[in-house]
Chains A and B, each alone.
Chain A
Amino acid sequence: MGLALLVLIWLITFFSTYFFVAKTWWLPAGASTAAPWIDHQFTLTFIIMGIVFVAAQVSLGWFVWKYRDRGPASKVDYSHGNTKMEVLWTALTAVLFVGLNLMGSHVWASERFEPAKAGAVQVEATGLQFAWYFRYPGPDGKYGHTKPELIDASAGGDAAVGLDTSDGSAKDDIVSGTMYLPVNREVDLSLRAQDVIHSLFIPNMRFKQDAVPGLIIHMHFTPTQTGDYEIACAELCGLGHYKMHGMLKVLSQEDFDKWIASKEAEKQ
């Protein structure tokens, strides 16, 4: 029985660890300035936790086999513990866990404590059951007013976010079902939700943030590679949660300007 346990626990440990180490499934390719930092912190945590995982499971399997009942021959060490060891591993774990946490904190700080830099691309993302809409303020740099009573999700476009077209600064606003961004430029994102909570999740950008009704949440990130990236909703928002899918297209600055210009031309 002890041997069967040892084999099972060790096999579980081996297979669990193997797929992590082989990176059979791993974080999707990063394409933002934050990605290398987050991935680095992830790898560091992974190595430390991986070592503890293997050590604990291997000793568990080993101990139950090694100290199995072998009749009167097996001697028991009558002991109530060891304070020195207790203090030692408490201190070690505390230093390890808290230290690990502190090492990752500067990444969090740079992501979330500072607002976007001046000159960042302004984009507003709105979540509704069950689609994402992205709004660009146009040449005036100002978002026009929106009104809840004007919202008509089925109409899409301007009406989907309830844009008040009588407002002067709304005239040049662009509303798109796909998110377009220029590469290597920071985006100043304003997140909104119209009905329930949604969460804008762009795995390749290492970006995730809930969009909460009643709040406008400012976030920022910088894409570093052109390409098409999938957007998913990460907060349960109702029956169509699984199909609340969007796309992010990261373009060169030139192509991005062209796209903006063509959309402005459509509005005229």
Chain B
Amino acid sequence: MATPGVVHAHAAPQGFIRKYIFSLDHKVIGIQYYFLALAAVLVGMFLSLLMRIHLVWPTASIPLFGEIKPETYLTLLTMHGTIMVFFVLTTAPQSGFGNYFLPIQIGAPDMAFPTLNMLSFWTTFVAFVVMIAAFFVEGGAPLHGWTGYAPLSALPGAGPGEGLGADLWITSIAIFCAASLMGALNFITTVLDLRAKGMTMMRMPLTCWAWFITAILGLLAFGVLLAAGILLLMDRNLGTSFFVPGGLSVSGNLVKHSGGSPLLWQHLFWFFGHPEVYIAILPGMGVASQMLSTFSRKPIFGYKAMVYAMLSIGLLGFVVWGHHMFMSGMSPYSAFAFSIMTMAIGVPSAIKTFNWLGTIYKGRVRFDTPMLYAIGFVSLFVSGGLSGPFLAQPVLDIPLHDTYFVVGHFHLIMGVAAIFGMFAGTAYWFPKMFGRMMSESLGRIHFFITLAGTYAIFMPMHYLGLAGQTRRYSQFTEVHYMTQLIPVQRFMTYAAVITIGAQLIFVVNLFWSMFKGPKASDNPWEATTLEWTTATPPPHDNFGGHTPVVNHGPYEYSVPGAARDYTMQTDPATSTAH
């Protein structure tokens, strides 16, 4: 039992600026994060559309953009990856939904540090502005990929965009790291200190567990990336040599560095980069668990196993980074160790999948749109997850590393699965956030096109990768065996155009429903967790002056003998429900 800590009780603000711009209210901040991520995902998606068109029609002239040059293609992919990973996958599931619903789900009036929370959002906002600014400086955005491997990222002369554009790119990431550290501290403290009476750790919804574990991962990972980013900035601007060895010559010019190690950057980057994958997907796992239980009208299968699985994923996530470096020149012996650890992380991931299936099994499944997206999440998680054990084996990494197989793998699992988590979260919590329901029919159309379209884009990437199609090629005209694979690329581009077009349905649904959707009741899904016990939308202090007392676990559905098929966490204690 946690002692409810003292929150800096702040009165509901009156002025527009304090209420909506520099707000201390976690709900407003959550919505701010959500819209920041929405803006970012639209930019990132537009970049991917340009990339897909260029890959298939390399000389096509695009309206307002002109012809895309090879180096422009690389800046598109760099910015696409960076924006999607940092400003979408890290921002919406954790900082967006987490901010809004973590305090409510544990029965707290706000986050532990409201001012820090506001600071964290606005710092993230600045990071986004700096990132976008990279497009508009001389030389444009960098072309070194979202992983920014040195020396390419460390030497301004190594390519167009590696000048000021690259400096802005690194600066933006460093600012983002600082913001994420603030957010992580806030989340951890809030979970540990602000749970309502009766809300034991093992009564927390799995979403809260996911946000909590993600925050711990963020706290341990972003600090390392921040340090790496600062070292890289120093290499570029102050003449240090952390990542650049001696004796290099770039386009005929001697490089005045010596003693650095390109592999050091990779170790630091992936020490952050691999946990980052779980930072992106864990909140989605939490959301999927919440939906599957709610809409199957059945307790989650193996709650404890789900918690332990997430904890072990978090732990193992820190000791597998070397699997990104099997071909890097790292010791082949350590590759062996990283490989075993990586296979081991497949075990808790498999447990989660089994338990999701076990939750649906013998349930009574309702097909509201949040559930559709959650089912889509499970399907994508399985598909994206099962290509993992290929890439985890160093010997299979020889043909597959840096091919489209990898691109297909991570897009399915950390890209689209995580985004399905966000779709599910949006459809599920929209009524609570905006007081209105989203359109079910638009939601269904969007779901079916997006799920089919996603597979049509990313499944063929596995075939291409097998055939040796390398990633990050701006065109496939120079290597003979790759020219034969262009028809598959063309199919993927068609699928991408349709799927990206279908996202307009989601955007229209979002904004239309915000103003025109039917009014939502306080508990439209007949769900059990605390956010459904309060008003819609929740008052400034979340529970209107009282603090909830928790008597039950988070997923008590269809309790035998109960009057209705859901027992809310605040319902009086009974002998039957947990």
- Which A residues lie at the B interface, using CB under 8 A? 1-2, 4-5, 8-9, 12, 15-16, 19-20, 24-28, 34, 37-38, 41-42, 45-46, 49, 52-53, 56-57, 59-60, 63-64, 67-70, 74-83, 85-86, 89-90, 93-94, 97-98, 100-101, 104-105, 107-109, 111-113, 128-129, 148-149, 151-154, 162, 191, 194-197, 199, 201, 203, 206-210, 212-215, 217, 230, 232-243, 245
* Residue-wise interface mask of B (457-482) relative to A, using a CB-CB cutoff of 8 A (1 in contact, 0 not): 00110111011101011111011111
Does B14 belong to the interface (CB within 8 Å)? no
Between A74, A93, A217, the greatest number of chain B beta carbons within 10 A of the residue's beta carbon is seen for A93
Asked whether, in the complex, the Cβ of B339 is within 8 Å of the Cβ of A101, the reply is yes
Asked whether, in the complex, the Cβ of A214 is within 8 Å of the Cβ of B560, the reply is no
Asked whether, in the complex, the Cβ of A76 is within 8 Å of the Cβ of B473, the reply is no
* Residue-wise interface mask of B (242-256) relative to A, using a CB-CB cutoff of 8 A (1 in contact, 0 not): 001111111110110
Given contacts A19-B463, A24-B463, A113-B332, contact A41 B478 (CB under 8 A): no
Asked whether, in the complex, the Cβ of B361 is within 8 Å of the Cβ of A232, the reply is no
Asked whether, in the complex, the Cβ of A76 is within 8 Å of the Cβ of B396, the reply is no
* Residue-wise interface mask of B (306-319) relative to A, using a CB-CB cutoff of 8 A (1 in contact, 0 not): 00000000000000
Asked whether, in the complex, the Cβ of B383 is within 8 Å of the Cβ of A234, the reply is no
Chain A positions within 8 Å of B151 at CB level: 195-197, 213
* Residue-wise interface mask of B (296-329) relative to A, using a CB-CB cutoff of 8 A (1 in contact, 0 not): 1111111111000000000000000000000111
Asked whether, in the complex, the Cβ of A76 is within 8 Å of the Cβ of B343, the reply is no
B347 to chain A, nearest CB (A): 5
Asked whether, in the complex, the Cβ of A194 is within 8 Å of the Cβ of B475, the reply is no
B306 to chain A, nearest CB (A): 9
Asked whether, in the complex, the Cβ of A151 is within 8 Å of the Cβ of B249, the reply is yes
Asked whether, in the complex, the Cβ of B365 is within 8 Å of the Cβ of A207, the reply is no
Stretch at the interface among B29-37, B185-193, B352-360: B352-360
Asked whether, in the complex, the Cβ of B248 is within 8 Å of the Cβ of A25, the reply is no
Between A64, A154, A245, the greatest number of chain B beta carbons within 10 A of the residue's beta carbon is seen for A64
B485 to chain A, nearest CB (A): 7
Bound together, the chains give a CA A162 to CA B250 distance in angstroms of 12
Asked whether, in the complex, the Cβ of A69 is within 8 Å of the Cβ of B365, the reply is yes
Does B350 belong to the interface (CB within 8 Å)? yes
Bound together, the chains give a CA A217 to CA B330 distance in angstroms of 10
Asked whether, in the complex, the Cβ of A149 is within 8 Å of the Cβ of B475, the reply is no
Between-chain CB contacts (< 8 Å), 30 pairs = A1-B367, A8-B448, A15-B459, A16-B459, A25-B467, A28-B467, A38-B395, A38-B399, A49-B387, A59-B357, A67-B363, A76-B297, A76-B298, A78-B558, A79-B298, A104-B395, A105-B395, A109-B332, A149-B249, A194-B248, A195-B248, A195-B255, A196-B155, A197-B152, A199-B402, A214-B262, A234-B327, A236-B152, A238-B158, A242-B476
Asked whether, in the complex, the Cβ of A78 is within 8 Å of the Cβ of B298, the reply is yes
Asked whether, in the complex, the Cβ of A86 is within 8 Å of the Cβ of B474, the reply is no
CB-nearest residue of chain A to B70? A239
B141 to chain A, nearest CB (A): 13
Asked whether, in the complex, the Cβ of A94 is within 8 Å of the Cβ of B396, the reply is no
Does B389 belong to the interface (CB within 8 Å)? yes
Does B74 belong to the interface (CB within 8 Å)? yes
Given A82-B358, A129-B251; 14 other pairs, CB 8 A cutoff: A28-B467, A60-B378, A67-B296, A68-B365, A75-B362, A89-B351, A101-B343, A112-B335, A196-B149, A196-B158, A210-B328, A233-B470, A239-B69, A240-B70
Does B403 belong to the interface (CB within 8 Å)? yes
Given contacts A67-B360, A80-B303, contact A8 B350 (CB under 8 A): no
CB-nearest residue of chain A to B345? A97
Point out the residue from A12, A89, A214 that lies within 8 Å of B245, measured CB to CB.
Answer: A214
Bound together, the chains give a CA A92 to CA B559 distance in angstroms of 32
Q: Which of B136-156 contact A (CB under 8 A)?
A: 143-145, 149, 151-152, 155
Chain A positions within 8 Å of B482 at CB level: 232
Bound together, the chains give a CA A148 to CA B451 distance in angstroms of 52
Asked whether, in the complex, the Cβ of B382 is within 8 Å of the Cβ of A97, the reply is no
Bound together, the chains give a CA A38 to CA B394 distance in angstroms of 10
- Which B residues lie at the A interface, using CB under 8 A? 69-71, 74, 143-145, 149, 151-152, 155, 158-160, 244-252, 254-255, 260-263, 296-305, 327-329, 332-333, 335-336, 339-340, 343-344, 346-347, 350-351, 353-355, 357-358, 360-367, 372, 375, 378-379, 382-383, 386-387, 389-390, 392-396, 398-399, 401-403, 444, 448, 451-452, 455, 459-460, 462-464, 466-468, 470, 472-476, 478-482, 485, 488, 557-560, 565, 578
Asked whether, in the complex, the Cβ of B246 is within 8 Å of the Cβ of A86, the reply is no
Asked whether, in the complex, the Cβ of B466 is within 8 Å of the Cβ of A8, the reply is no
B351 to chain A, nearest CB (A): 6
Bound together, the chains give a CA A41 to CA B375 distance in angstroms of 32
Asked whether, in the complex, the Cβ of A153 is within 8 Å of the Cβ of B251, the reply is yes
Asked whether, in the complex, the Cβ of B557 is within 8 Å of the Cβ of A42, the reply is no
A146 to chain B, nearest CB (A): 9
Point out the residue from A5, A76, A203, A213 that lies within 8 Å of B557, measured CB to CB.
Answer: A76
Chain B positions within 8 Å of A1 at CB level: 367, 372, 444
Bound together, the chains give a CA A108 to CA B333 distance in angstroms of 10
Point out the residue from B244, B296, B297, B480 that lies within 8 Å of A230, measured CB to CB.
Answer: B480
Asked whether, in the complex, the Cβ of A101 is within 8 Å of the Cβ of B245, the reply is no
Bound together, the chains give a CA A213 to CA B257 distance in angstroms of 12
Point out the residue from A26, A74, A213, A232 that lies within 8 Å of B470, measured CB to CB.
Answer: A232
Between B245, B262, B470, the greatest number of chain A beta carbons within 10 A of the residue's beta carbon is seen for B470
Asked whether, in the complex, the Cβ of B403 is within 8 Å of the Cβ of A68, the reply is no
Chain A positions within 8 Å of B339 at CB level: 101, 105
Bound together, the chains give a CA A86 to CA B355 distance in angstroms of 8
Bound together, the chains give a CA A206 to CA B395 distance in angstroms of 9
B235 to chain A, nearest CB (A): 13
Asked whether, in the complex, the Cβ of B247 is within 8 Å of the Cβ of A56, the reply is no
Chain A positions within 8 Å of B463 at CB level: 19-20, 24-25
B370 to chain A, nearest CB (A): 13
Between A77, A162, A214, the greatest number of chain B beta carbons within 10 A of the residue's beta carbon is seen for A214
Bound together, the chains give a CA A201 to CA B469 distance in angstroms of 11
Chain A positions within 8 Å of B364 at CB level: 67-70, 74-76
Asked whether, in the complex, the Cβ of B372 is within 8 Å of the Cβ of A5, the reply is yes
Chain B positions within 8 Å of A101 at CB level: 339-340, 343, 389, 392-393
Asked whether, in the complex, the Cβ of B347 is within 8 Å of the Cβ of A97, the reply is yes
A194 to chain B, nearest CB (A): 5
Given contacts A60-B382, A112-B332, contact A235 B466 (CB under 8 A): no
A73 to chain B, nearest CB (A): 10
Bound together, the chains give a CA A97 to CA B343 distance in angstroms of 6
Bound together, the chains give a CA A236 to CA B159 distance in angstroms of 11
Asked whether, in the complex, the Cβ of B354 is within 8 Å of the Cβ of A89, the reply is yes
Asked whether, in the complex, the Cβ of B395 is within 8 Å of the Cβ of A41, the reply is yes
Point out the residue from B144, B246, B399, B476 that lies within 8 Å of A27, measured CB to CB.
Answer: B399
Asked whether, in the complex, the Cβ of A235 is within 8 Å of the Cβ of B402, the reply is yes
Point out the residue from A16, A79, A191 that lies within 8 Å of B299, measured CB to CB.
Answer: A79
Asked whether, in the complex, the Cβ of A236 is within 8 Å of the Cβ of B481, the reply is no
Asked whether, in the complex, the Cβ of B329 is within 8 Å of the Cβ of A215, the reply is yes
Bound together, the chains give a CA A28 to CA B361 distance in angstroms of 42
Between B350, B351, B353, B467, the greatest number of chain A beta carbons within 10 A of the residue's beta carbon is seen for B350
Bound together, the chains give a CA A76 to CA B355 distance in angstroms of 16
Chain A positions within 8 Å of B298 at CB level: 76-79
B82 to chain A, nearest CB (A): 14
Between A20, A76, A203, the greatest number of chain B beta carbons within 10 A of the residue's beta carbon is seen for A76
Bound together, the chains give a CA A89 to CA B42 distance in angstroms of 40
Point out the residue from A53, A100, A238 that lies within 8 Å of B383, measured CB to CB.
Answer: A53
Point out the residue from A76, A82, A240 that lies within 8 Å of B558, measured CB to CB.
Answer: A76
Asked whether, in the complex, the Cβ of B375 is within 8 Å of the Cβ of A60, the reply is yes
Bound together, the chains give a CA A37 to CA B74 distance in angstroms of 35
